[in-house]
C-alpha cells in the first residue's frame, strides 16, 4: 500500500493548519473528536485492523452528510474529491465497509455465510478513498480547505 507519508504542495505553511486545529480543537462536537480518533488509529495500524477501524470511522462520517444521506453527501463533496472516486461513489465505499470480511461485518447473517475478502484493488481503493473522505470531513469541520494527494 505504500507509505502514509505524502508530499504535497501547500499554498501556506502546514503550520498554519496546525495552529487552526489547535485553536479550534475544543470547539468541535464529540463526533468530530471520535472521527479523528478512529482515523488516526487507522493510520497507526496495518492490514485488517486498519480496515476495521476505517469502517468504524466511516460509520461516524455518515452523520456529517446532509440528511445523513450518502447520495447527498457525495453530491456535496468538492469536485476534486469526487474526481478521485472515478466510477465509484459513497455507496461503493460503504458497501465495502459493511460487506467485506476485513471491515465491520465479517458475516452476512441473512445467509449465514462469511463475507468475501477484498481483492487487492479493492483493498487499495478502500484505504485511499476512506482516508480522502475522512480527511475532507475533518478539515471541513475545522474550516480548512480540502486536500487531495497522489495515490
Q: What is the DSSP string of 18-55?
A: HHHHHHHTTTS-HHHHHHHHHHHHHHH--HHHHHHHHH
What is the predicted pLDDT for the residue at 142? 84
Question: Is-contact 28 142, C-beta < 8 A?
Answer: yes
Question: Is-contact 84 148, C-beta < 8 A?
Answer: yes
Give the span between the Cα atoms of 81 and 97, in whole angstroms: 19
What is the predicted pLDDT for the residue at 37? 85
What is the predicted pLDDT for the residue at 130? 96
What is the predicted pLDDT for the residue at 1? 43
Q: Which residues of the chain register pLDDT less than 70? A: 1-22
What is the predicted pLDDT for the residue at 7? 47
pLDDT in tens, 76-107: 999 999 999 999 999 999 999 999 988 888 88
What is the predicted pLDDT for the residue at 70? 92
Amino acid at each position: 500500500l505504500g507509505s502514509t507519508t505524502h508530499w504535497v504542495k501547500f499554498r501556506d505553511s502546514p503550520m498554519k493548519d496546525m495552529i487552526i486545529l489547535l485553536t479550534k480543537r475544543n470547539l468541535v462536537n464529540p463526533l468530530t473528536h471520535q472521527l479523528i480518533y478512529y482515523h488516526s488509529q487507522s493510520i497507526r495500524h496495518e492490514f485488517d485492523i486498519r480496515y476495521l477501524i476505517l469502517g468504524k470511522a466511516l460509520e461516524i462520517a455518515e452523520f456529517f452528510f446532509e440528511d445523513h444521506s450518502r447520495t447527498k453527501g457525495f453530491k456535496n463533496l468538492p469536485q476534486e474529491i469526487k474526481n478521485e472516486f472515478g466510477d465509484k461513489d459513497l455507496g461503493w465505499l460503504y458497501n465495502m465497509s459493511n460487506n467485506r470480511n476485513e471491515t465491520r461485518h465479517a458475516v452476512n447473517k441473512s445467509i449465514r455465510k462469511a463475507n468475501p475478502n477484498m481483492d487487492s484493488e479493492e483493498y487499495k481503493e478502500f484505504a485511499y478513498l476512506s482516508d480522502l473522505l475522512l480527511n475532507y470531513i475533518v478539515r471541513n469541520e475545522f474550516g480548512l480547505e480540502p486536500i487531495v494527494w497522489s495515490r
